């Protein structure tokens, strides 16, 4: 084995600089926390070239007529599948590369992976797909000259034994650059095993889960694989196929190798795979369904297509004869959906007793956007400035999303936004300002005084909100790869104290550590907007944040300490900005010189001791230094908790702490 030692930090920084130069964007292009930790040398790893051959994916991927049973072990009947080698490894200093290999196969409806490594122990860590034992797999749409692709799935798979981490067993970590944590279907199966000095993973991934990719329909399919093996108590080893420093990165393209598939060999009944040519259309359009049939000989078959409402009611039904010769036969069927109104639908297809599937279909309203813009401007004087800004942002975002949505993607959120926008504009035309009187969670917008742009925020009003009363305010800063809407989701919504108004700024980005251009201005402007629009007790403003937002709390309070009555930091990293940006001038809150403004500040700090994404020890050090400068810190830990929010016991202590804050005279 030839070792070629190199600096992963240099590789990541070069990749990041390339992206920033291409985008010419002032907002930092960032890497997931774990990737940053690798780049910063936290794992102290060396690069090892395992196979100099570019043919690690040869021979062709074998065809299986039937799907294997998934139990974590390789079936005896599948031992003919060739062992495929990893091309490189990142190895902790002093460690040897663990022997590992993988096998691939495919069927009409699935991709199969078996991964095996020499090890006496299967390790279960928080987010094991990052920290071990687990793996990441990329399925991508190749670009000319095999350039990095912006169309891909990154499937994250973990060895799991704790019910609380079951969500990490198999989930699409990233999808098409912008999206994160997309669930797989229940038909995606993953199991892991430990036996006889080895550990193994077995995966069955339905092609329908990675729509529109299929070996008989797609021109080519890109593929990458990274295996993560836990080493010791905190370290990890990484073995991969294509060395992509940004494989686990946010808002980044992906690298890949090209898969080559063996032609299918069917001995029994014919098999079919079908999918709509588009997953969203406009009301009045006709839908085309593409199908591929494989048969052992010439024979007739029949494709049945049904369109169902979201409630499961069939509203269209079509039977299409298919004349099939032996081998692969492609066909295209027109489905008359022109009379269906806008809405969310399911397209189900079947062929005989062996092949079936379904795909979501979005039918968008057939609304002229230019006409809608004119209607919106005409009603702006009839509603509040906040409501007018919100409607204008909804229109801007809808137009942008329409341009960015690929034909194969459903867009239910866009449909709902358009339908809501049309309804709100119609009500405004008759003088009703629905947004102004809305309680619960609402996403709104303000126009920035800094650059005139419309910026979003999420606000929460208690159901019994009364403008004649004064309410304390919770300001929540979201985590990495998230946005202001996280205020309404699990974890964040639980920390909203009873009787509080709550607001979540966007911060001018999903993953900028709240230190990019104007992110602090955004937080300030949102607070000003909310205190002007609602009845807020400005003497009781609490600032809270999770993960990246935890660093954001420190950064924001350091700049405007007198604005906040108390601070709550949950699973944060006190030096995140330097890690995200590589800029040593960004504030590191482990430096006591940056903590002087926190003297006498009331602070709640939470961190799970098993957190592998944001180091627990860094928070422990932060708390000690905060107390040293005179901050009044309540520090709560959970021994088994990873990178997550508070459990019920800690949540109770958090609420009691807030009660004490409110009761204490300022």
The Cβ-side half-sphere exposure at 216, using a 13 Å CA radius, reads 25
Q: What is the pLDDT of residue 55?
A: 55
Element (H, E) at 9: helix 8-23
Q: What is the pLDDT of residue 8?
A: 40
Q: What is the pLDDT of residue 16?
A: 34
Q: What is the pLDDT of residue 251?
A: 82
Spatial CA neighbour of 588 closest among 505, 515, 518: 515
Directed axis angle between helix 412-429 and helix 385-404, to 10°?
Answer: 150
Burial of 624 from C-beta contacts in 10 A (0-12 / 13-18 / 19+) = exposed
**How many angstroms separate the CA atoms of 55 and 85, rounded?**
10
Q: Which residue has the higher pLDDT, 206 or 57?
A: 206
Chain center to CA of 204: 21
For residue 254, what are the contacts with CB-CB under 8 A and spacing of at least 6? 138, 140, 148, 149, 152, 154, 222, 224, 244, 246, 247
**How many angstroms separate the CA atoms of 451 and 102, rounded?**
52
Q: What is the pLDDT of residue 238?
A: 96
Looking at the predicted structure, is the pLDDT value of residue 12 above 80?
no
Average confidence score pLDDT of the chain: 90
Looking at the predicted structure, is the pLDDT value of residue 22 above 60?
no
Looking at the predicted structure, is the pLDDT value of residue 34 above 70?
no
Percentage of the residues of the chain whose pLDDT score is greater than 70: 92
- What is the per-residue pLDDT across 514-532, written as a single tens digit (0 to 9) for each? 998 799 999 999 999 999 9
Q: Taking residues 444-463, report their average pLDDT.
A: 97
Q: Which domains does the chain have, with CATH numbers?
A: 8-258 (2.60.40.1190), 271-364 (2.60.40.1930), 367-434 (no CATH), 438-663 (3.40.50.1820)
Look at 5-9, 193-197, 345-349, 533-537 and tell me which has the smallest mean pLDDT: 5-9
The confidence band for 49, taking pLDDT boundaries of 50, 70 and 90, is confident
**How many angstroms separate the CA atoms of 47 and 1, rounded?**
12
Looking at the predicted structure, is the pLDDT value of residue 5 above 50?
no
Q: What is the pLDDT of residue 297?
A: 75
Q: What is the pLDDT of residue 253?
A: 95
For every residue of 562-574, DSSP letters joined together read GG-SEEEEES--T
- What is the per-residue pLDDT across 243-269, written as a single tens digit (0 to 9) for each? 999 998 878 999 999 999 999 988 877
Under DSSP, is residue 135 helix (H, G, I), strand (E, B) or coil?
strand
Judge if pTM exceeds 0.85: no
Spatial CA neighbour of 285 closest among 336, 335, 338: 338
Q: Which residue has the higher pLDDT, 354 or 509?
A: 509
Q: What is the pLDDT of residue 354?
A: 67
Q: What is the pLDDT of residue 9?
A: 39
- What is the per-residue pLDDT across 110-167, written as a single tens digit (0 to 9) for each? 999 999 999 999 999 999 999 999 999 999 999 999 999 999 999 999 999 999 899 9
Directed axis angle between helix 412-429 and helix 369-379, to 10°?
Answer: 40
Q: What is the pLDDT of residue 227?
A: 98
**How many angstroms separate the CA atoms of 375 and 409, rounded?**
29
């Amino acid at each position: 084995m030839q070792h070629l030692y190199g600096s992963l930090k240099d590789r990541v920084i070069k990749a990041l600089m390339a992206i920033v130069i291409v985008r010419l964007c002032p907002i930092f292009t960032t890497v997931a926390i774990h990737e940053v930790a690798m780049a910063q040398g936290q794992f102290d790893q060396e690069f090892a070239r395992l196979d100099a051959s570019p043919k690690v994916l040869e021979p062709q991927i074998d065809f299986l007529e039937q799907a294997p049973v998934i139990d974590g072990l390789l079936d005896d009947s599948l031992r003919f599948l060739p062992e495929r080698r990893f091309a490189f490894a990142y190895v902790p200093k002093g460690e040897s590369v663990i022997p590992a290999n993988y096998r691939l196969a495919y069927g009409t409806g699935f991709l199969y992976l078996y991964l095996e490594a020499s090890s006496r122990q299967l390790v279960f860590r928080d987010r094991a797909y990052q920290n071990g034992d687990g793996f990441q797999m990329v399925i991508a749409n190749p670009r000319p000259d095999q350039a990095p692709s912006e169309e891909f799935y990154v499937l994250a798979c973990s060895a799991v034994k704790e019910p609380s981490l079951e969500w990490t067993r198999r989930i699409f970590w990233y999808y098409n650059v912008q999206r994160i944590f997309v669930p797989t279907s229940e038909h995606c199966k993953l199991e892991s095993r430990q036996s006889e000095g080895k550990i193994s993973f077995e995966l069955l991934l339905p092609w329908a889960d990675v729509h529109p990719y299929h070996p008989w329909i797609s021109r080519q399919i890109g593929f990458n694989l990274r295996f993560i093996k836990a080493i010791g108590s905190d370290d990890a080893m990484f073995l991969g196929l294509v060395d992509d420093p940004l494989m686990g990165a946010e808002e980044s393209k992906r690298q890949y190798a090209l898969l080559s598939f063996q032609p299918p060999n069917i001995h029994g009944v014919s098999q079919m795979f079908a999918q709509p040519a588009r997953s969203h259309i406009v009301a009045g359009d006709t839908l085309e369904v593409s199908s591929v049939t494989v048969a052992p000989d010439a024979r007739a078959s029949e494709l049945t297509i049904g369109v169902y409402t979201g409630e499961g009611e069939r509203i269209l039904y079509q039977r299409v004869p298919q004349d099939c010769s032996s081998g692969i036969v492609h066909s295209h069927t027109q489905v008359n959906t022109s009379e269906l109104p806008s809405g969310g639908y399911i397209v189900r297809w079947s062929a005989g007793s062996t092949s079936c599937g379904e795909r979501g279909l979005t039918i968008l309203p057939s609304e002229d956007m230019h006409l809608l813009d004119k209607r919106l401007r005409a009603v702006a004087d009839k509603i509040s400035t906040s409501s007018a800004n919100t409607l204008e942002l909804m229109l801007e975002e809808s137009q942008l999303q329409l341009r960015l949505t690929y034909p194969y993607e459903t867009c239910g959120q866009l449909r709902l936004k358009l339908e809501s926008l049309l309804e709100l504009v119609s009500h405004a035309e008759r003088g009703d300002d629905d947004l102004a009187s809305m309680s619960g969670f609402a996403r709104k917008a303000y126009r920035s005084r800094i650059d005139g742009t419309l910026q979003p925020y999420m606000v929460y009003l208690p159901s019994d909100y009364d403008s004649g009363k004064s309410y304390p305010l919770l300001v929540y800063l979201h985590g990495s790869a998230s946005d202001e809407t996280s205020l309404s989701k699990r974890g964040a919504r639980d920390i909203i104290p009873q009787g509080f108004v709550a607001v979540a700024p966007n911060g001018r980005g999903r993953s900028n550590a709240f230190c990019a251009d104007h992110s602090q201005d955004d937080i300030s402007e949102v607070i000003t907007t909310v205190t002007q629009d609602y009845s807020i007790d400005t003497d009781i403003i609490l600032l809270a944040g999770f993960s990246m937002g935890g660093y954001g709390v420190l950064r924001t309070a350091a700049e405007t300490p007198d604005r906040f009555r108390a601070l709550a930091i949950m699973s944060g990293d006190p030096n995140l900005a330097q890690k995200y940006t590589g800029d040593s001038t960004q504030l590191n809150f482990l430096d006591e010189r940056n903590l002087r403004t926190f003297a006498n500040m009331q602070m709640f700090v939470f961190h799970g001791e098993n957190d592998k994404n944001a180091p627990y020890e860094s928070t422990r050090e932060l708390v000690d230094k905060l107390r040293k400068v005179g901050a009044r810190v309540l520090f709560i830990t959970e021994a088994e908790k990873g990178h997550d929010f508070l459990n019920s016991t800690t949540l109770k202590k958090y609420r009691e702490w807030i009660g004490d804050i409110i009761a204490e005279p300022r």
